[in-house]
A and B are shown apart, each in its own frame.
Chain A
Amino acid sequence: MKEELFISGRDIPNIDPFLNIWHWEIPVYLYLGGLSAGIMFFAGLFTILDKEKEMETTVKWAPFLVPVALVLGLFALFLDLKHQLFFWRLYTTIRIESPMSWGAWTLMFITPLSMVWAAVYIKELIPGWNWKINIVDQFEEFVKKNMKPLAWAMMGLAIVLGVYTGILLSAFNARPLWNTSILGPLFLVSGLSTGLAAIIWMSKSHFERKVLTKIDIALICVELFLIIHLFMGFLAGSAVSIEAAELFLGGPFTTTFWGGVVILGLIIPAILETLELAGYKVPVWIPSFLVLLGGLLFRFIMVEAGQITRFLY
């Protein structure tokens, strides 16, 4: 028998008996950040490839979701802070070693950028839109002439944002479930996939949907591959890593993770999308909805389960 107890009666809120300091705000933000990164990445990519005409939803309409999602995500982050009046302290310093500092600065650049991108296409979305301010019109002209560099910047920042949502967690060595370098790419791929799902859902063009569906199937395969690698790494790791993996292999998160995230959120949508490509009629919203739901569930599970895992001594 091995037993450990706090005899001083330690029962600190949100820390004992197990850590639960991050609630719904963090997974919601990670989800919205990943989704935004996905949409921005593909909007940038197809602009660079000169496919604005064929991929209209990707380049023009879906990016209108991004500023909304980012602002909501930032608001969730703000709600999570316990010392909210001091949030501006994030922007009085740059801490190279802190992923959260990187993320805060990335968001500082990418949020206005996404707004500029949406503003450029607003005249096409709402015919007769008028800025009524001369300088804004001039700025719009200037941006329109420089869409390519803007697209490159957006694509680059989207990758940083997507990877950051994973690295934010993987930088914590005290939480063995998070402390794996595969989390960065995994969150990026998952974010790109959810972004694509949102675009596919919005798109009315058959050609566009076909192209994006093919990319989405590839991304889902990569994601499954990364998830398998994640668990291979854990099971080949030290005691704390094995313990972390066991939460998902027979532990309390087994059904929700393998059933909800892997089967419902990845495998079934991939099959449905393949069937659709093969010519069967599948309502387009079903695979998209499943991917979006799976992505959200994945982040909730990772944040909650990660906080339970710890070093034992």
Chain B
Amino acid sequence: MRYGMAIDTAKCVGCSDCVVACQTENNVPIGYCRDWIVENVNGSYPNVEIELRSERCNHCENSPCVRCCPTGASHIIDGGIVMVTHNECIGCGACIQSCPYDARYSHPDGYVDKCTFCHHRLEKGQNTACVEVCPTRCLHFGDLDDPYSDVSKALKNRTWKVLAPEAGTKPQLFFLT
């Protein structure tokens, strides 16, 4: 079991529905977000390329945030999801420094917070909030070890990339190009 997500950059329109859905579902404080949209513009008119990416925690297999956490609050659970136990986190900021994707933030209550792949929803057999609301169906989530899962099927016939592979973190977010 290894959860992963594929994001279809060709289909994403950058509507930010996933951002709002996540903020609502996970009670993210105002001014903060666990997922966000990046617009990447390359070239100049008339040769312009735009890539839209819905980004979040990459739930890295070799996660630097888990490695540097001094208390073990950051840990990996079954399915490869990187989680933070709030009452073990001392708020030292080491994991925020260690993340090449700047996916973590310091919650106003003190602990460090980030995307959980909506673990509480997965437990109930539901999909993540961001995937559920995406109007263009550009987000694909599921078990990478299962060849028939939504994410595996999405990755099968398309080219994809991961972000900052040179950081050596083995991210589990795949961007279909």
Contact = CB atoms under 8 A, between A and B. Distances in A.
Contacts, number: 154
Interface in A1-32: 1-16, 19, 21-22
A206 interface: no
Given A82-B110, A90-B71, A98-B94, A13 B41 contact: no
Nearest to A101: B70
B167 A311 contact: yes
Contacts of A84: 90-91, 110
Contacts of A87: 90
Contacts of A90: 70-71, 90
Nearest to A96: B67
Contact of B64 (A21, A82, A172): A172
Nearest to B163: A313
B36 A313 contact: no
A153 interface: no
A93 B69 CA distance: 11
Interface in A41-79: none
Interface in B95-140: 96-100, 102, 105-106, 109-112
A172 B69 CA distance: 11
A21 B40 contact: no
Contact of A93 (B71, B110, B164): B71
A184 B87 CA distance: 31
B90 A89 contact: yes
Contacts of B52: 7
Contacts of B38: 4-7
A7 B39 CA distance: 6
Contacts of A129: none
Contacts of B80: none
B44 interface: yes
Contact of A173 (B98, B106, B163): B98
Contact of A21 (B37, B97, B100): B97
B50 to A, nearest CB: 10
Contacts of B44: 1
A82 B111 contact: yes
Interface centre among A2, A15, A93, A173 (most CB of B within 10 A): A173
Given A80-B92, A173-B168, A21 B106 contact: yes
A130 interface: no
A82 B91 contact: yes
A34 to B, nearest CB: 19
Nearest to B105: A12
B134 to A, nearest CB: 13
A182 interface: no
A148 interface: no
B91 A83 contact: yes
Contacts of A1: 41-44
A92 B69 CA distance: 13
Contacts of A11: 31
Contact of B32 (A12, A83, A311): A12
B150 to A, nearest CB: 23
B43 A99 contact: no
Contacts of A82: 90-93, 106, 110-112
Given A7-B16, A8-B37, A174-B100, 15 more contacts: A1-B41, A2-B41, A3-B42, A5-B38, A7-B37, A21-B93, A81-B92, A84-B91, A87-B90, A89-B73, A101-B71, A172-B97, A173-B64, A173-B167, A311-B100
Interface of B: 14, 16, 19, 31-33, 35-44, 52, 64, 67-73, 87-94, 96-100, 102, 105-106, 109-112, 163-164, 166-168
9 contacts: A5-B39, A8-B16, A8-B37, A15-B102, A89-B73, A93-B72, A238-B166, A311-B166, A313-B163
Interface of A: 1-16, 19, 21-22, 80-84, 86-87, 89-90, 92-93, 95, 97-101, 104, 171-175, 238, 240, 307, 310-313
